[in-house]
């Protein structure tokens, strides 16, 4: 365990930054089915801005918390606040020398924050006393690359992805010769789900927890894939290939993702947040004009989608809710 500076969401130290460029976004409607998920007058709201690279949002204690990866910080924002506040610093590189901060965040059944810590190259849980408990830091005695995003089942199993994005460029830090998709059982056992995918990134579960979705950020083949968890060892299937959407105007690849209660997939991708039905049909896109990292359900009824898009924290009120 290692100690950390832990502040409440009500922390008075607000994030101060240079004014960000004016946000310009819109909602692209490709299928009438989108109307059941987003009202015709749905708006994209800017809640906070000026971050270096915002990532990994999760709803916790009545507000949204999210990582700023290069700044080694977790920020928080609540309704009525004019700026985001520091919640946790350092967040993912505790000695400040081994890479960047936290990335994906989640909350376990006891309300504790669980983090993918790039710098420490592990998945860890933040305890109430401000210390960290490592849940997984190695596979077959080799350190992970840099755990990126995670999802927790109702029974407490953690699934996470391990691309190399948190490793320092120009160094030979990697101990594993693949980018894995892993699980951590409540017993602490780490299992490998797949080692064949390059750049696995965002990760989410279907409402019945029978299907695991992974967003693949491979610059040559960005896509969403799925695994049937009832069939161990089964190969993944492609749900949606987003490579053809990439353009100079539509930045980013498939990165973070969430699933709603109806099984629709909300994945960041070229241009913003791609909204797919459970069969992979592209219904529309929340266009952010930014390389968009991740999203999360929040609000009292979990019907608001919070989005981390480069320097911005955004939200869109929907007609659905998180699973």
Distance of alpha carbon 118 from alpha carbon 95, whole angstroms? 12
What pLDDT shows up at residue 173? 87
What pLDDT shows up at residue 98? 65
User: Is the confidence at residue 10, as pLDDT, over 50?
Assistant: no
Using pLDDT thresholds of 50, 70 and 90, give the confidence band for residue 8: very low
Q: Which of 214, 196, 197 is nearest to 205 (CA)?
A: 214
Using pLDDT thresholds of 50, 70 and 90, give the confidence band for residue 3: very low
Q: Which of 107, 61, 40, 35 is nearest to 320 (CA)?
A: 35
Residue 224 near residue 280, CB atoms below 8 Å: yes
What pLDDT shows up at residue 5? 43
What is the arithmetic mean of pLDDT over 63-68? 98
CATH superfamily label, 5-10+26-317? TolB, C-terminal domain (2.120.10.30)
How many DSSP H helices and E strands does the chain contain?
A: 0, 28
Half-sphere exposure of 80 (CA within 13 A, CB side): 4
pTM greater than 0.85 (yes/no): yes
What pLDDT shows up at residue 19? 55
């Amino acid at each position: 365990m290692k100690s950390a500076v832990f502040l409440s969401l009500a922390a008075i130290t607000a994030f101060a930054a240079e004014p960000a460029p004016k946000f310009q976004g819109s909602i692209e409607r490709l299928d009438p089915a989108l109307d059941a998920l987003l009202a015709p007058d749905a708006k994209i709201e800017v809640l906070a801005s000026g971050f270096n690279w915002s990532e990994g949002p999760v709803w916790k204690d009545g507000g949204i918390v999210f990582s700023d990866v290069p700044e080694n910080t977790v920020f928080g924002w609540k309704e009525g606040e004019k700026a985001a506040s520091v919640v946790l610093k350092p967040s993912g590189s505790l000695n400040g020398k081994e890479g960047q901060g936290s990335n994906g965040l989640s909350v376990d059944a006891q309300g504790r924050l669980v983090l993918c810590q790039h710098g420490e190259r592990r998945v860890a849980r933040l305890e109430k006393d401000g210390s960290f408990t490592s849940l997984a830091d190695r596979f077959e005695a080799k350190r992970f690359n840099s755990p990126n995003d995670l999802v927790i089942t109702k029974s407490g199993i953690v699934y996470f992805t391990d691309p190399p994005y948190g490793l320092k460029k120009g160094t030979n830090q990697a101990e594993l010769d693949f980018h894995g998709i892993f699980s951590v059982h409540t017993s602490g056992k780490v299992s490998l789900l797949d080692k064949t995918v390059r750049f696995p990134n965002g990760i989410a579960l279907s409402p019945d927890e029978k299907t695991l979705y992974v967003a693949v950020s491979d610059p040559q083949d960005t896509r969403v894939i799925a695994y049937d968890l009832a069939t161990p060892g089964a190969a993944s299937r492609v749900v949606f290939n987003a490579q053809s959407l990439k353009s100079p105007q539509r930045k980013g690849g498939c990165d973070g993702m969430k699933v709603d209660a109806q099984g629709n997939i909300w994945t960041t991708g070229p241009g913003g947040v791609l909204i797919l039905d459970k069969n992979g049909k592209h219904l529309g896109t929340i266009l952010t004009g930014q390389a968009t990292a991740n999203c999360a359900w929040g609000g009292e009824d979990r019907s608001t989608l919070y989005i981390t898009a480069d320097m911005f924290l955004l939200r869109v009120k929907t007609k659905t809710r998180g699973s």
